[in-house]
Structure 1
């Protein structure tokens, strides 16, 4: 019997795939965020090289990154990126869903960090919202809005499934089947 082991971990996967990032177009409208980043894992050492590589062309060489440690199990002090060192710091005062990128030559950018476990549809909504020029919403406001939207979508899907599963039965305001059809039937008072 032959056993094949797949030793491809999150670090190997992150190194081969491009960063999932959406940036605000260059415009005179300044917003609270400069875009969004959707990492594939919570391993900063594995995820930051792809992000830094994706930002070289539009923003220049990133030299420092700050995060809030509540979303990252390990915050390394330094990360190797293309033969150089990217310095990583953390601040508990920084919003947990925000990443601050710094460049000595160009400036500062703030990105919304979308949790890796986020569903693709929700991540797409968040990436689009964070990349709107002149966006006045903070990372926390965008995440709170998405939680409400996601809950509303889940509730609508659940209600539709309930409707379909019950054959369109009438319901009381408390969600109990009323024992009559939603369609008029001869002899039950409907004409």
Structure 2
């Protein structure tokens, strides 16, 4: 399932999710942000995921993959989302959690500098419920632009 938002094409969230009802895959999908500025990129991701599995309350990120400063809260829609920055978070993974820990999304983060073809392949692989590869394995196959 590809998610679209009511944003102009150049700022629409680039997100692809496994459309199945069961959670058998290692990943729930993938997100391709345009930059490594979490404060600029996360609101559209939270907006796109909001309501699919409950209200988004927390986002866990790899501390070394995003630009500084590492904020602890982010305004997204009508609510504030808590951000957690961890050096132990696997490379290329963002975990988006819903209220009361009821559910979560484990998403591959496609590097902003990935080529469009490599990004599309990664988005599709991560959203494929039959693909058991984790984020580091999929990232290893990504070709970078320029």
TM-score bracket for this pair, using the shorter chain length? 0.7 to 0.9
SS at match of 2:91: coil
Residues 113-160 of structure 1: CA deviation (Å, up to 9, x unaligned): 00111111110000000000132111001111x14xx49xxxxxxxxx
TM-score normalised by L of structure 1: 0.65
- 1:31 Cα deviation from its structure 2 partner: 0.7
Match of 2:67 among 70, 73, 77: 73
With 21-30 and 109-118 compared, the bigger mean Cα shift is at: 21-30
Q: Which residue in the other structure is 1:87 paired with?
A: 82
Length, aligned pairs only: 135
TM-score normalised by L of structure 2: 0.84
SS at match of 1:99: strand
Counterparts of 2:79 and 2:52, CA distance in 1:
19
Counterparts of 2:104 and 2:55, CA distance in 1:
11
Q: Higher relative CO (CA 8 A, sep ≥ 6), structure 1 or 2? A: 2
- In structure 2, the gaps of 5 or more residues are 1-6
Cα-Cα RMSD: 2.1
- 1:65 Cα deviation from its structure 2 partner: 0.4
Residue 110 in structure 1 maps to residue 106 in structure 2: yes
Q: Which residue in the other structure is 2:38 paired with?
A: 44
